[in-house]
């Protein structure tokens, strides 16, 4: 099934670790740490996502903190670093789109999406997390190891859920339902 830790599905390479690593997000324990990473790099963005995010800004303003809105007004909601589009972060930590619900960092874009106020859920890189897409002569899906996700690894092991299964809706959003079913058939999960 796997050839050198990869399987190819319609020209997308899927690393074995995505299929085998137990993972099920546990927000009550990690507090949304993936949205508040201490890093000078925000979440990767696609150019076609910028328009949708820009359209949502008037609604986002009512959800996020004044500090985050000031950052957006002064510097914008995205930046380009090393030729890559990224969400802007406040103090190299929280994404500008973050709001806090009972001390849990959450995405204001996703909140608006689930409230059916916008059609854009959130950047695909955020939706796919902990799966990351790398370009290496084509798309390669890999598991992003992040120390604050150790609770998700434990919960995934207890629930018998892998990162591949946990990210079903985001993988279908990115590659389509047929792609996911084909991958599922090949890996048997």
pLDDT tens profile 21-72: 999 999 999 999 999 988 888 899 999 999 999 999 999 999 999 999 999 9
Residue 136, pLDDT score: 79
144, 132 Cβ separation under 8 angstroms: yes
Q: Please state, in angstroms and rounded to a whole number, the distance separating the CA atoms of residues 17 and 144.
A: 9
Query: Strand pairing partners for 188?
Result: none
Judge whether residue 11 has pLDDT over 70: yes
Q: Please state, in angstroms and rounded to a whole number, the distance separating the CA atoms of residues 71 and 156.
A: 36
DSSP character at residue 50:
H
Residue 1, pLDDT score: 55
Q: Please state, in angstroms and rounded to a whole number, the distance separating the CA atoms of residues 189 and 183.
A: 8
Q: Return the closest-CA partner of residue 170 out of 115, 136, 133.
A: 133
85, 46 Cβ separation under 8 angstroms: yes
Residue corresponding to tokens 């359209």: 55
Residue corresponding to tokens 């990869």: 6
Residue 189, pLDDT score: 63
Where exactly are the structural domains of the chain? 12-187
Residue 53, pLDDT score: 97
DSSP character at residue 33:
G
Residue 41, pLDDT score: 84
pTM of the model: 0.91
Judge whether residue 2 has pLDDT over 60: no
Q: Please state, in angstroms and rounded to a whole number, the distance separating the CA atoms of residues 90 and 97.
A: 10
Q: Please state, in angstroms and rounded to a whole number, the distance separating the CA atoms of residues 88 and 12.
A: 28
SS3 6: strand
Residue 130, pLDDT score: 96
| Residues 75-134: tens digit of each pLDDT | 999 999 999 999 999 988 899 999 999 999 999 999 999 999 999 999 999 999 999 998
């Amino acid at each position: 099934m796997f050839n050198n830790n990869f399987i190819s599905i319609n020209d997308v390479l899927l690393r074995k670790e995505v299929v085998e690593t137990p993972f099920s997000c546990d927000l009550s324990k990690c507090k949304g740490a993936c949205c508040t990473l201490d890093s000078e790099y925000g979440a990767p963005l696609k150019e076609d996502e910028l328009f949708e995010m820009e359209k949502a800004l008037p609604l986002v303003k009512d959800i996020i903190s004044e500090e985050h809105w000031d950052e957006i007004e002064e510097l914008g909601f995205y930046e380009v670093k090393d030729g890559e589009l990224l969400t802007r972060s406040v103090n190299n930590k929280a994404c500008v789109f973050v709001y806090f619900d009972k001390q849990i960092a959450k995405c204001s874009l996703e909140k608006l999406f689930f409230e059916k106020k916008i059609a854009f859920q959130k950047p695909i890189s955020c939706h796919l997390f902990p799966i990351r897409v790398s370009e290496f002569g084509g798309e390669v899906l890999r598991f992003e190891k992040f120390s604050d996700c150790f609770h998700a690894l434990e919960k995934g092991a207890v629930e018998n859920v892998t990162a591949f299964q946990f990210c079903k809706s985001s993988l279908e959003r990115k590659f389509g339902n047929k792609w996911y079913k084909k991958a599922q058939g090949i890996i048997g999960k």
